[in-house]
Amino acid sequence: MPIGNGAGGTAEGKLQLNEDSVWYGGPRDRNNEGALPHLSEIRKLIIERRLSEAEELAAMSMAGLPEAQRHYRKGCIYSGGGIPEGEALT
């Protein structure tokens, strides 16, 4: 599997993993069930070119829940020569 951006060789590489559903607690349903009742009002405000009001209402009512994600625990996959000197295993 090719990995990288094409700058540099392919003999060694480091792929950083940063995916919360794999690394911390499994998948979550963050859908906000209270968002739908506000959708028609947001659309109306957009049609009326009241964009600041539409944006404010969308920000207050349409965000996923809980508003903050869990923290990510990243990991790395190294190819080539193993773990480089100075890299901490956590």
pLDDT in tens, 39-60: 999 999 999 999 999 999 999 9
Residue 29 — pLDDT band, cuts 50, 70, 90? Answer: confident
The whole-angstrom separation of Cα 47 and Cα 35 is 19
65: left (phi over 0), alpha (psi -120 to 50) or beta: beta
Interval 60-89 mean pLDDT:
69
> Mean pLDDT, the chain, as a whole number?
75
List the structure tokens of 4: 């990288």
Residue spans of the domains in the chain: they are: 9-28+72-90, 29-69
Can you list the alpha helix ranges (DSSP code H) found in the chain? 20-23, 36-47, 51-61
Cα 23–chain centre separation: 13
Which of 10, 12, 17, 77 is closest to 2 using CA atoms? 10
The DSSP annotation for 41-52 comes to: HHHHHHHTT-HH
The whole-angstrom separation of Cα 21 and Cα 38 is 29
